[in-house]
Amino acid sequence: MKYEIKNISLSSVLKMSFLTLLTTGTIFFTFMTLIILRLVNSIGAEMEELSDLGVDTIAEMSLSSILMSSFLFGVLISIGIVFWISLIVIFYNFFAKLVGGMVMEIGKK
């Protein structure tokens, strides 16, 4: 059987990609924030000059501020990537009407 994809629903792509990117982005930024705080703490313990730059206040973030900042970074990154995905889907739908969509052949050989 041959299937041709000529139109991709923009709303379903945007919903699924935003939720997926938001979840993975929040988890990624949570771990990255914890890793960066760990590095700042280990460097700050050895170098006293960093306390003049205010690194002590960065290294002492609470759990709620870590999670909130990770969520906000996840939202911002998700919005940016979803914008580009929506442009790609719009261009695909436009060119698929003109030239034809992707053709997949499903079956046993």
Q: Contact, 36 vs 51, CB < 8 A? A: no
pTM more than 0.75: no
Question: Mean pLDDT across the stretch 45-73?
Answer: 69
Q: Report how far residue 16's alpha carbon sits from residue 22's, in angstroms, rounded to the nearest whole number.
A: 10
H or E element: which one contains 109? none
**pLDDT tens column, 87-98:** 999 999 899 888
Q: Which of 32-36, 58-62, 102-106 has the highest mean pLDDT?
A: 32-36
Residue-averaged pLDDT of the chain: 82
pLDDT digits (tens, 9 = 90+) for 19-32: 999 999 999 999 99
> Over 60: is that where the pLDDT of 58 sits?
no
Element (H, E) at 5: strand 2-5
pLDDT given for residue 65 in this prediction: 83
3-class DSSP state for residue 2? strand
